[in-house]
Structures are given as structure tokens and as C-alpha cells.
Chain A
């Protein structure tokens, strides 16, 4: 074409004009810490594994999940999911059902027989793990992944610790527990059952380079209640452990449980299932103050458990107990009122908390115990070099999830320690707060409700109360994740740039800015749904 001078121009020639020189601020891609991840005691990269679940790649999701937690089917049932409490989606409609997706992945893994990826090359180091509860299993798993030989000494007849002896079946079916433990054994974790460690330093002499203590809190706290000879006063630990034995404990027609924690609820609900006509929880404070989780209280009430708030047991008689009503004082503490009441009771179960048995540590130099808890450093190491501890014995927040987190953290520290280094956790990213996101881009998608067992069967059997998601609604639920603070390749930055200054790098590779043309308008930052871009002042 014979182009007239100046009037007619060659296509796209404006590339010669580098508008990037206009910029005073520049955009920068960042990864921010999603609030779910921040809230997870096990340190799960929840956003990370949901990312894979969203595309239906459940195996990849499960592998991402199990980098931090080897027990997703268990955790998907028993975790109190603080992640969902942190979830930013609650400000849009309702939190993502992270726990339900986790369970789906865990169940899917069991169903499909997924095994862990092969561990790293053997280091030749051996680590003793005391206790096969969640802390011990987690530590042993992580150590195995890193190439160390992890050997668990378990005092009990079966592996699982408090998961088996403290959590009722209707919350955690034993086939699920067994399956996830078996996978760990197949992975190379060695467990010696009925092997009680009474002196940890001695036990280490069996060729171990380090030890991790994951002894659960098995010893029930007692309270003095004057009781007649005929009255049955039991403790919750014994009752729940008894459920794993050959014959269930005899609790009678009317059962009173004393306490306000999750264990109290577990016992009451267990009693109901064992045939008790009445299961009554007596608690000295109000519902708001109850340490048990609200949903468990709700489930218990649904099942016909009754709760006497603001009440203490003064004495236990032959077939009844004496309860004193309490009243809150100005500061909100319960005070006795002098009003009494008698309640029929065939048995009284005390659920007042548990302590760990620390006798195996009696002669370990340097080790510090305070208020029944072993003092550990940031890497879960006790005052005695090479002796690490976690789970119930090292913290007051006694959940499976916390224990798994302790186990993982300890394993990393042990790994460092074995190499003569000091474990230093990576610095955490800035939190992906809701204000940093643009929630417009998330359409309304209410949380999926999990199926619940019918009430009759909940009152008479130990079948699992809460059902799982099927694939369709697990996918839906996964896709409710807003990917807070982490690019999910929605192409918004690429699309909204008025200067075509965002380069799309292809699936999984995210984007980069073309600073030759980026004018620094900041539209990409404002329109990033998940808050994974920030503006920083241009330096030159």
C-alpha cells in the first residue's frame, strides 16, 4: 500500500512509545496469608489445597493437604475448624465449609487407596516418638517424609491415642481412624504397641538420635464429691476408654455428667446411645461460658441431653445427687446461692479435664514442667537437647489439630537439630484481610449443608452423626473459596489493564507486569478479587 505521508500509519506502531515512564507507583504481585491458613493450628495451606480441589483434581488437593497433615479423614471429622472462623467468605455469605471438603478429600483418599509420595532419601537418623496420638503420628509422618526413621512406642493396645480412646465413634468411625493409621504404617512409620516408656532417656538408648514426646492427657482430673457407697462416680476418660473395650460401661438409666467441656458432651451423648433415659449435664456456669463448642452443645440438645446451667454437685447419694444453684456475681463469676435441688442419678461421670502422665520425664535434666505442661521452645524442644514434645502435654489447647501442628513443627525442628542447625520458621506473609480484597467478583453461593443422621438413630446407635459431601457439592464448596491473598489466575489483572501491560504467563504460571507500558494506574490492584497485588512507590 502506498501510504500517504504522516496521515496514514503502520498498525500497532505505538509500541515505540514507552508509557511506563509516566509511572509513580508500580504494582507488585504478592502472596498474602489467607486467614484460614493463619487460623489453622496444623498450619495447613488450606487455600493451596482448595485450589486443586476447585479444578476437581482431588488427588493433587489431597497431596497438597497432606504435606501438613497426614490425617485429613480424621481431621475432616474432629477438627473444630478455626479456619472457618477466620474465613473471609463469612463477610460475603458464609464461611467456606473447609472441614467438609477436607473430609471429602480424606474419604476419597481412603476410597481410592492413595498413598503418600515416597519419602526423601534415608538420612540414617532414628527418632523415637512416644505415643501414637495425633501429635506422635504427625511427627512420625513428617520425620519419615524427611528421610528419618521414626519409631513410635505406644503404651496402649491400639494406635491412635485419644483419637481412639477419647473421641466417640459417632464422631470418628474407627475404620476411618484405622485406615489413616495404616497408610502411615505403609509409608514406613513403625509402631510398637503396648510399649510403655517409663524413662525417656533410657528408651533413647535403643539407638535413637532424638525423641518426640506425644503423650496425651489421659489422667482425669478429680473433684471431691461426698458420695454414698452405693453411688457410681466415674471419670470421663475411663468411660470413653471403656467404650473401646469388649463391654461397654454400665451407667444406668439416669446419668449425670459433671463438667462443661467437649468431653462432658461426648460422655453424655455416649450415655444416651448406651440406653440412658436421661443424660443430664451439670455445669456451674452459663452456656456462653461453656468451653464446649456450640455446635456440639446444639447436637447434644437435639439428641435429648439436658443441661443444668449454673449448678454444682454438692453430694452424690445412692440414687440421686444434690445440686446447688449458682448465680453470677457482678464480675460474671458463679457464686453459691444456698438453693439446693435433688436430681435422680444412677451414676455421675466427672468430666473436669485431664492431665498428661509426665512420669516418664522425672529424671530428664533441664526439662521444665509448669502447671502440668512441659515447657518447649519455638521448635517444640524441651529444656533437654534432643527431647521434643507436643500435643496435650505441651499446651492447654488440646485438640487433634493442635497436636498435628505440634507434631509437624517438632519434626521440622528435629530435622534441623539432627543436622546441627536451629529450626527457623519462614517469616509469615502479611494477612489477606477482607479489606484488601474485592469481593464484588464472588457471586452468591451459600454454604453447603452436610447431611445429618436422623435423630432416632443418633439416640440409639453409634453411627456417624455428620455425613460427608458428595463430589458435586464438595466441588461446589471448594469453589466457594475466595483464594484470599493468593492469585487464582482469574485473569482480572490481565483483563482490566487499560494499557495491556499485564503479561499472561500461562496455566499455573500466573502473570507479570510489562513495565515498559504500565502507567501505574492501579486498576489491577483495585480489581484483584483476592488482593494479591499491591502498589509500591516507584523508586526511580
Chain B
């Protein structure tokens, strides 16, 4: 059924259709609307049976989910940014124990400086946590990926983060096609836990494992993510059969035929990129798009295949490995090792910085011309940065960088301080 609704609401309704049994909630923008909506559904009885637990922290949220999942309940939570970092220890634990928890990440920057706007720093900080990470481009995809995520997680006994851009998606009102309960029930079987806390068949879960077996445990986790590489496209196909639309999968390409330049990105920015590419195609540029849906497991083979015919690629990512460079770009480069492609990393949109068609057009044109540097910070205020760098050269200590920068860029309020 087509509906016009906020992204958060759409995700909440989709999660509810998946019949979660335990939901743990802790407020943090921009995911809050999702759990608020779910909380209301549990409270008014429309989502039942389900336990909705207002926990005292994200650490507890993930921990409650761990307990619930281990006891055989389909478990869900959502978080973002600092909240994700606060639960990190439990995040690793959930995957280590192989518990199929589904968690929405309403992607947001992490501080300091504290910043509530969108980028991918939060989710990408957890790229090695052992969780599957799926990135949604649209609210429709976000909704669909949750349904697929429960199925995949429970099949493989692995937890999954469904990542959607904070505010850009979560707070955006868009038209979505909301599936029916019957459709979801037809697609998503009942949760049959691989292992469970059960007095009739007692086991000890979470043993201490020493050097004699730890590497094997880790390898097996890796092997399961490799299995996911096979299952994710299959599940997308099955999804299309039941729901009548393409959603999910490992990657998507857009106008990639005969493209010499490929732009690679994750999440909602793909929409802007596609608009830009459309215009550039009209102007005669051979440029295409590769959207990565599954960041973990990383689809090396699929990415390499998608880039097989291009000459260069530009990875535009909303994350920065400080002191290193791109994060997604590193994985893409790994995937195309030996293919002789020229690769560019573009760091863009950190902390909610707008990514405009204008800037992208200029950027991609430079790339097509072969003028683009290996590493670019899109729309960086070089004036402010350089001033600070000079100051720092002159004085060993200059006070908090953030404040100094704000002063330079002329944020009014900070002038008084």
C-alpha cells in the first residue's frame, strides 16, 4: 500500500510487520522517531506480543537485545552516533555470540565536536564488529532492507545493522509502498534460533576461548559473512517475487553501461549523485554510478565486476579514517587490485555538510578530465583551515580547534566568546 510518511515511521511499521518480540529503546537523534513509533504500537496493542523496554543506555539496549535473542526472541533496537559507540562492547559481543539482532543505524556524525547531523562515521566505526551492514538509499529501501535483514540475520545467526542516513532519510517524508502483513509473513519465517537458552537443553553460551581456538572462531565468523555474500542477492530476488520490487542486494549500478568514470557511494547521497550523473550524461560524459548496499560483507567480486569496463572511479564517502583517508575507498581499491584503474577518494558531507549537485558536477567533471586529486575533501573551507594551520604553526597551542574554526567561518554566536 502506498503511503506518504516519514522515513522513521516507515521503518517502524516495517519492523512491526516483522513481528519483533523484544524491542529496546534509548533515545538518540535521529533514530528516536523509530522507537517512539514502535513503543506506541506496543503500548496500544497493535504490535503484540512484544516487550518494549525503555533501557537506561545504548549499552543496555544492545545487552537486553543480546539476552532476548539468546533466549529465542526476535530482537530489535535502533541507535546512532554516540549511542552506537556507547554500545560498542556489546555490539561486538552480539556478533561474537552469533545472535541475529537487527538494529537500525540512523547514521550520524560522532564527536567531539558534538554534531547531530548525518554522515557515516558511526556505522563505519563498526565495520570490523562482525555485523552485517546494509546501507539504504531511499526510505523504501530502508523499509525493505529491514524485512530482508531479519530473514538474513536469522538464517545465518548474525546480527545486522540497517543503516539509513539520519534526517536525510529518517526525517524525510516520502512515498513508500508499505507491504502487507501477509506479504511479510510469507517472506519471513518464524525465528528458529540456532542456539538458545533452554532448561530442557542446557548449554553454556559465551565460553572463554583461548589461543587454541580463537582464530578458528574468528575465521568461522568471516566464513559466515562470506555465505552472506551469496545469500544477499538471493534474498533480494525472493523479496522481488513476494513484494514485486527490486530492493537490497549487494550493489546497484546506474547508467554504468560504457561508463569511463564510475562514482561509488553508499546511502541517500546516491540520489543526488544519480541526478548529477543524469545531467552529465546529457552533456555527453561517460559516467555511471555504483551504489554499495552491502558494506559488510564487502562484495569485492561484485564491485570488481561492476568496475570492469571503466577507466577510473571516484569513491565519494561520508566518512573519514582520520590519518588514513577513505574507508569505503580502501575496500573498493582492494576489490579492484590489479585492474589498472585510477581511483579517487572524495570525503564529503561530514557532520551534515550539504552535498550539492553543483559541487558534485564540478567534481565529476574534474574526474572525467583526469584533473582530480587522489584525495579530495569536498567543499572544504580552505580559508578557515589554512588560517588555523598557520596559527598552529606559530603557536604550539591555540585552544580548541573547533572553536577557532567557527570563529573564522563567522558563526555569529561564537563571536561573543
The reply, when asked whether chain A contacts chain B directly with Cβ atoms under 8 A, is yes
Knowing A2-B195, A4-B157, say if A9 contacts B204 (CB, 8 Å): yes
Interface stretch (choices B213-221, B228-236, B348-356): B213-221
Looking at the complex, which one of A4, A6, A10 makes contact with B194 (CB distance below 8 Å)?
A4
Contact A8 B216 (CB under 8 A): no
Query: What's the least CB distance linking B303 to chain A, in Å?
Result: 30
Q: Is the interface of A mostly helix, strand, loop or mixed?
A: loop
Contact A7 B196 (CB under 8 A): no
Contact A4 B196 (CB under 8 A): no
Complex: chain B residue closest to A3, CB-CB: B195
Contact A8 B207 (CB under 8 A): yes
Contact B207 A9 (CB under 8 A): yes
Looking at the complex, which one of B98, B203, B207, B213 makes contact with A1 (CB distance below 8 Å)?
B203
A469 to B213, CA, bound (A): 70
Contact A2 B194 (CB under 8 A): yes
Residues of B within 8 A of A7 (CB): 96-98, 205-207, 209, 217
Looking at the complex, which one of B98, B201, B202 makes contact with A4 (CB distance below 8 Å)?
B98
Contact B195 A6 (CB under 8 A): no
Looking at the complex, which one of B203, B214, B220 makes contact with A8 (CB distance below 8 Å)?
B203
Query: Which of A2, A6, A11 has its CB near the most chain B CB atoms (within 10 A)?
Result: A6
Complex: chain A residue closest to B192, CB-CB: A2
A91 contacts B by Cβ under 8 Å: no
A11 to B220, CA, bound (A): 23
Query: Which of B202, B203, B216, B220 has its CB near the most chain A CB atoms (within 10 A)?
Result: B203
Query: Which of A8, A9, A10 has its CB near the most chain B CB atoms (within 10 A)?
Result: A8
A295 contacts B by Cβ under 8 Å: no
A415 to B363, CA, bound (A): 119
Residues of B within 8 A of A4 (CB): 97-98, 157, 194-195, 217, 220
Residues of A within 8 A of B98 (CB): 4, 7
Contact A1 B196 (CB under 8 A): yes
What is the number of residues of chain A that contact chain B, defined by CB distance less than 8 Å? Answer: 11
Knowing A6-B209, A7-B98, say if A1 contacts B204 (CB, 8 Å): no
Knowing A4-B98, A4-B195, say if A10 contacts B203 (CB, 8 Å): yes
A224 contacts B by Cβ under 8 Å: no
Residues of A within 8 A of B202 (CB): 11
A530 to B257, CA, bound (A): 92
For residues 68 through 125 of chain A, which have their beta carbon under 8 Å from a beta carbon of chain B?
Answer: none
Complex: chain A residue closest to B224, CB-CB: A4
For residues 15 through 42 of chain B, which have their beta carbon under 8 Å from a beta carbon of chain A?
Answer: none
Residues of B within 8 A of A1 (CB): 194-196, 198, 201, 203
What is the interface residue range for chain B against chain A?
Answer: 20 to 34
Looking at the complex, which one of B97, B204, B213 makes contact with A5 (CB distance below 8 Å)?
B213
Query: What's the least CB distance linking A184 to chain B, in Å?
Result: 64
Query: What's the least CB distance linking A11 to chain B, in Å?
Result: 5
Contact B220 A5 (CB under 8 A): yes
Residues of B within 8 A of A9 (CB): 203-204, 207
The interface bits of chain A over 482-502 (1 if a CB of B lies within 8 angstroms of the residue's CB, else 0) are 000000000000000000000
Query: What's the least CB distance linking A512 to chain B, in Å?
Result: 28
For residues 108 through 164 of chain B, which have their beta carbon under 8 Å from a beta carbon of chain A?
Answer: 157
Complex: chain A residue closest to B210, CB-CB: A6
Contact B216 A11 (CB under 8 A): no
Residues of B within 8 A of A11 (CB): 202-204
A283 to B209, CA, bound (A): 86
A463 to B216, CA, bound (A): 91
Contact A8 B195 (CB under 8 A): yes
Query: Which of B194, B204, B206, B214 has its CB near the most chain A CB atoms (within 10 A)?
Result: B204
Query: What's the least CB distance linking A6 to chain B, in Å?
Result: 4
Query: What's the least CB distance linking B189 to chain A, in Å?
Result: 16
Residues of B within 8 A of A2 (CB): 194-195
Complex: chain A residue closest to B209, CB-CB: A6
Complex: chain A residue closest to B70, CB-CB: A8
For residues 3 through 45 of chain A, which have their beta carbon under 8 Å from a beta carbon of chain B?
Answer: 3-11
Residues of B within 8 A of A8 (CB): 195, 203-207
Residues of A within 8 A of B203 (CB): 1, 3, 8-11
Residues of A within 8 A of B220 (CB): 4-5
Query: What's the least CB distance linking A121 to chain B, in Å?
Result: 59
A2 to B196, CA, bound (A): 9
For residues 314 through 367 of chain A, which have their beta carbon under 8 Å from a beta carbon of chain B?
Answer: none
Residues of A within 8 A of B204 (CB): 8-11
Knowing A1-B203, A11-B202, A11-B203, say if A6 contacts B196 (CB, 8 Å): no
A6 to B209, CA, bound (A): 7
Query: What's the least CB distance linking B261 to chain A, in Å?
Result: 44
Query: What's the least CB distance linking B96 to chain A, in Å?
Result: 7
Residues of A within 8 A of B206 (CB): 7-8
A4 to B203, CA, bound (A): 11
Residues of A within 8 A of B198 (CB): 1
Name 11 interchain pairs, CB-CB below 8 A, sorted by A: A1-B196, A4-B98, A6-B209, A6-B213, A6-B214, A6-B216, A7-B98, A7-B205, A7-B209, A8-B204, A11-B203
A residues neighboring B (CB under 8 Å)? 1-11
**5 shortest A-B CB distances, which residue pairs?**
A6-B213, A11-B202, A9-B204, A6-B209, A2-B194
New A-B pairs, 8, CB < 8 Å, besides A6-B207, A8-B195: A4-B98, A4-B195, A5-B216, A7-B96, A7-B217, A8-B207, A9-B204, A11-B202
